[in-house]
A and B are shown apart, each in its own frame.
Chain A
Amino acid sequence: MDLYRLGIKFFDVAGERIEPTEFIPIFHEWIQKQTIENHLLIDVHNYSHIHDGPGILLVAHQGNFSIERADDRIGLLYYRKQPVQTFTEIIKPAVQGCRLLENDARLRPRLRFRTDEVLIVANDRLLAPNDDETFSALEPQVSSALNHVLGKSFGLTRISDDSKERLIIRAQA
């Protein structure tokens, strides 16, 4: 796959108050145990002071994980940074991250991720400009991969046609 700079965000459905800083020790533990498959976890960064920023960031060589609340919707966002063979390689680490957080005793049952709605971000303005052509090209791959990993059929819509913004796709089951 030429295009690998992609992001995927899973949203929290529980809606309970969780302080961003609660995720910091959890991410540090993930680094201690190198918990995420096929990822070299490197560092944690607190960006919770930035409005609409990356929140709490877990940096890995292959991709970055962050707990962020863009548009007031808390969720886990994973950005891939290194090449992949298939789109499922981008979904799987994010899903693993969500499961780990849901099952962490410090957060349970305050955090639960929905699997019937995700955002896909094409984080590459060269290979994936925000236009109909890119959307059409990506749609079948994204649908197929989401179906494969999450076991559901998804309808895909483009969020904005602002050419300065990245192509962002909302996938709803």
Chain B
Amino acid sequence: MPTWKEKLVGRMDQQLAEEIDIFETQMVLRRQGKLDEKIFAETRLRRGCYGQRYDNGHRHDGIRTQQLPYLSDVTKGPETLWDAPGMQRIKIPFGGVTPNQLDTLADLAEEYADSVLHVTTRQDFQLHYVHIEDTPDLMRRLAAVGITTREACGNSVRNVTACPLAGVCRSEVFDVTPYAKACSKFLLGHPDTQGFGRKFKIAFSGCKDEACALTSMHDMGCIAVKRIENGKERRGFELYVGGGLGAVPHQAKLFEEFLPAEELLPIAQAISRVFARLGEKKNRAAARIKFLVTKLGIEEFRRIVLEERKIMPADDRWTGYLSNVDRYQETPKRQPARLNGHDRPEGFEAWSRTNVYAQRQAGYAVVTVTLPLGDLSASQSRQLAKIARRFSGDNIRTTVEQNIVLRWISEADLPDLYRELKRIGLAQPGAGTIVDVTACPGTDTCKLGIASSRGLAAEIRNRLSEKFFTLEDAVKNLHIKISGCFNSCGQHHIADLGFYGTSRTIGNRKVPHFQVVLGGKWQQNAAAYGLAIGTVPSKRIPEVVELLTERYVRERSGNENFQEFVKRIGKPELRRMLELFMDVPSFESDPSYYSDWGDPRVFTIGDLGMGECAGEVVSTVQFDLANAERLVFESQLKLDEEDYAEADALAYKAMLQAAIALVRTEFHDVPDHPNTIVNEFRTRFYDTNVLGDRYAGNKFAQYLFRRHEAPTSVYTRDYAHRIVEEAQLFIEAVYACHDSLSERGTVGISAKSPVQVGKATP
């Protein structure tokens, strides 16, 4: 039977292909019980394979909690059954995607998921209801079109986002695209980003005033700035650190007013090292970098980062990309032409008012394709790719508002483009307006969702769309963002009207509610967060939207914006307005309150699962040792295949991997060279007898030294068998040594005792 692996040979980047092979082996090890479920959980998260609601094998069906009897009781993480479908997150750095990539994404959605592509608030794509067995092939097919899922989830650098107008924006300082791309590539899989206690999010913005990149809510936000120095223009970034939403939102702090472009990557690396070293590891609720910055203070944090910067080994990649930055450009598919006198189909004018943005390049426009709830079908995706090929070329980007933009559209083509989009159901007007509601997955698929954010978003969108053309402009331009829980994946803090799901008990029953958060500032890169005003039953939220917007229109003074209006009205008065909707009738008199939007089941929070976005806190040592074990496993397979030379090579590699794991606890930047690794290991752990204090570890160290110093040239079965056995014993000794050091508090958490569980945001 043919396989994708064979079919795609030569079409995948070799490193990506190897990583996927390794993941496939890790899956085998986990199924055989040879890889700890917590380590495997973080491993798969770092490949973008995320859990999904009900994957613990339980689901409330509206009457009772059913046990879902999957055939296998193997787990792919704590309380996460192997056979249960999950979500696959696919990283799209700065949202840049090509028609060919869209075609592949469509194919994967059809064959491995539910035929739907979902755009997230981090410009990623997500596929739902994916079986883990399908993920290696899914990843290979993505790799063949230049996409990786690596570090899409887990305690890692998440998708690097950027303004979707970068390069064509009328108000940007310069195009941040090549910097975002370089940053994403540099930090992907970088050793210094593997030891985080939580995720790390980076955004790039071309200007300070617009909202597009939301830098203030990021762990690291970069805003383009220029300076004239010695008569010469110099590019750089206003750099912010320590922002974030979640349950405890923080505004990012100014780290540097002008960080020269050549310092961008080294400072990003230095920040990563400091975060990995000093960031919280045990209490995941305080493990984001925002807590570290707050704890240390921005001045001290800056000082430590700059000290770190000084001692880091130089890396050519820090500036290697800069020579190409000026050459970075996108190729339009069509010649520029003004829209003059062309036939304009019905609906075109309204659509173009909200969905068309005139580029700074004359004759070209950016078109926003509005995706209801961030969703598009596989069929739409494939047809959109065709449309892009005709009008836009490779210039497609996803947005943090869960839409897609087509750039470099010749203005004269806009009517034809509109007709084509309308034909496939993607020409809804209202992009970036109040009807363009953002929502996280919520209870539809998220393990942590409390209330139905998507259900509410759909309801609000439907109601407002009916009267969209009669709404005042002041209302049209408001933003609504909804999260299914306090974790803020829907970014409710930065909306004019934000909502997050919660639950209240009335009598003996649960009622879905939403906390109302008002007056967040979307503009100026998410400059201010909203105020929580009160909790309202889910079913009354659309009326809350209506009442608030009507009053805003009626009572706003002059050009007063919504944030100013909310501030002027004041929290007590806003609260009084909400109180009109807070009462919940008894179940007997109105049961509709006791179920959520779009879900007729009686509401429950019994389906809440254990979040895993931040996953387990798995240290770099744990990963290195798990990797060593995988290599031993592969050496065993080679032994069985009678490939003794390869078995020997892999077993040796496994021992080196285990050794470097331990060395790195003392010497972070140890060069990855066998002689250095062995020498450092000998000096630090053998000569000092540190390895030898448990299970005769020093004896096992001899296995490494002997193989390193005297490799054989004659490979026999007996020889290979012995080396494989010795490698296994050596790894066990390293584990024991690390555990011993951990107990004494000499190094971080135990390699075999990860302790933290996490939660989700995209």
Chain A residues engaging chain B, CB cutoff 8 angstroms: 2, 5, 21, 24-25, 28, 31-32, 34, 40, 42-47, 49-54, 57, 59, 61, 64, 70, 81, 123-127, 164-166
Contact = CB atoms under 8 A, between A and B. Distances in A.
Contacts of B600: 24-25, 28
A120 B513 CA distance: 44
Given A46-B458, A81-B131, 8 more contacts: A45-B114, A47-B375, A50-B375, A51-B424, A52-B424, A57-B114, A126-B3, A164-B382
B129 A2 contact: no
The secondary structure that dominates the B interface is: mixed
B7 A59 contact: no
Contact of A53 (B1, B7, B129, B375): B375
A51 B377 contact: yes
B7 A43 contact: no
B284 interface: no
A77 to B, nearest CB: 9
B214 to A, nearest CB: 25
Contacts of A42: 54, 59, 68, 85
A49 B68 contact: no
Interface stretch (B103-111, B147-155, B394-402, B553-561): B103-111
B397 to A, nearest CB: 21
Which of A24, A49, A70 has most chain B Cβ within 10 Å?
Answer: A49
A52 B383 CA distance: 11
A46 to B, nearest CB: 5
A44 to B, nearest CB: 8
B129 A59 contact: yes
Given A64-B129, A124-B111, A52 B1 contact: no
Interface string B234-268: 00000000000000000000000000000000000
Interface in B115-136: 115-116, 128-129, 131
A46 B111 contact: no
A53 B116 contact: yes
A32 B424 contact: no
A23 to B, nearest CB: 11
9 contacts: A42-B85, A47-B114, A47-B116, A50-B376, A50-B380, A51-B425, A52-B380, A53-B380, A165-B382
A111 B290 CA distance: 56
A165 B381 CA distance: 12
B231 interface: no
B285 interface: no
Contacts of B377: 47, 50-54
A122 to B, nearest CB: 10
B372 A52 contact: no
Contact of B598 (A31, A32, A46, A165): A46
B372 A49 contact: yes
A28 B60 CA distance: 10
B601 A28 contact: yes
Given A51-B426, A164-B382, A40 B70 contact: yes
Nearest to A82: B131
B110 A166 contact: yes
A17 B85 CA distance: 33
Interface in B342-375: 372-373, 375
A123 B110 contact: yes
For the complex of A and B, list the 8 residue pairs with the smallest distance between their C-beta atoms, beginning with the closest.
A51-B425, A53-B377, A49-B372, A25-B600, A32-B61, A52-B379, A50-B377, A54-B115
A5 B284 CA distance: 41
Contacts of A50: 116, 372, 375-377, 380, 425
B53 interface: yes
B375 A126 contact: no
- Classify the secondary structure of A's interface with B: loop
A124 B458 CA distance: 32
A81 B458 CA distance: 29
Contacts of B2: 126-127
Contacts of A70: 379
Nearest to B111: A123
A42 B70 CA distance: 10
B69 interface: yes
A82 to B, nearest CB: 9
A59 B376 CA distance: 18
Given A59-B129, A127-B1, A45 B444 contact: yes
Interface in B85-105: 85, 103
B380 A164 contact: no
B715 interface: no
A126 B7 contact: yes
A42 B107 CA distance: 24
Contact of B83 (A25, A54, A61, A165): A61
A57 B110 CA distance: 13
B314 interface: no
A137 to B, nearest CB: 14
Interface string B35-78: 00000000000000000011000010111001011100000000
B695 interface: no
A57 to B, nearest CB: 6
A81 B112 CA distance: 8
Nearest to B106: A164
Contacts of B1: 2, 127
A173 B205 CA distance: 60
Given A52-B424, A54-B114, A127-B2, A28 B61 contact: yes
A169 to B, nearest CB: 16
Contacts of B129: 59, 64
Contacts of A46: 455, 458, 598
Contacts of A31: 59, 61, 66
Contacts of B425: 50-52
Nearest to B382: A164
B375 A61 contact: no
B4 interface: yes
Contacts of A40: 68-70
A61 B116 contact: no
Contacts of A52: 377, 379-380, 424-425
Instruction: Pick the most buried of B426, B455, B598: most chain A CB atoms within 10 A of its CB.
Output: B598
Nearest to A57: B114
Contacts of A165: 382
A47 B445 CA distance: 13
Contacts of B458: 46, 49
B379 A64 contact: no
A54 B377 CA distance: 8
Contacts of A125: 107, 111
Contacts of A126: 2-4, 7
Contacts of B3: 126
Contacts of B53: 43
A44 B53 CA distance: 12
A54 B458 CA distance: 16
